Amino acid sequence: MKTYNHLKILALLVLILIWTSPALRAQSQFPDVVSSNLADNLYTYRAIITSVYDGDTVTADIDLGMKIWLRGERLRLWGIDTPELRRGTRRQAARKARDFLRIQILGQKVIIKTIRDRKGKYGRYLAVIYKGQVNINELMISKSYARRYKVRRKLQLTTDLSN
């Protein structure tokens, strides 16, 4: 009788470990920037940065949930502007901004918050990128690799870049 009870307890513990293990692994794979307020989590996705074109444009594989991925999606870092690589007199500054951004997020698992899932004029989703608790867009500004970009007031009211 004692052996039977011990086996039941052991089986229950094994089932609990199996049941919770994938959830624990999934939570630890990506940084946690998820808010307790549901509205703050709209348009928030896990992603892996696959390339960095310049200081404000990246390509990412985006996890939409339920094992659905959007691969090779171009993102424009919202609310910032960096020098252009292809034109202008600030190419060296553009390369420095790109290289700094590459060091920060290339190949990294990040959280992106898109701006109402809308695209900018060049077909890129507008996004704020987080690595852990660090807002990468703000980091680019604070390290003087980017300047704050004026955004339309309507969008500014719904998305705070400093979150």
> Taking 60 as the threshold, does the pLDDT of residue 97 lie above it?
yes
Residue 5 CB neighbour total at 10 angstroms: 9
For residue 24, name the pLDDT band (cuts at 50, 70, 90).
very low
25, 78, 126, 162 from 75: Cα distances, Å: 27, 9, 6, 18
As a whole number of angstroms, the distance between CA 137 and CA 135 comes to 6
| CA–CA distance, 32 with 110 (Å, rounded to integer) | 9
| Fold classified for 38-158 | OB fold (Dihydrolipoamide Acetyltransferase, E2P) (2.40.50)
Distance CA 138, CA 119 (A): 20
47-96 confidence digits (pLDDT tens): 999 999 999 999 999 999 999 999 999 999 999 999 998 877 789 999 99
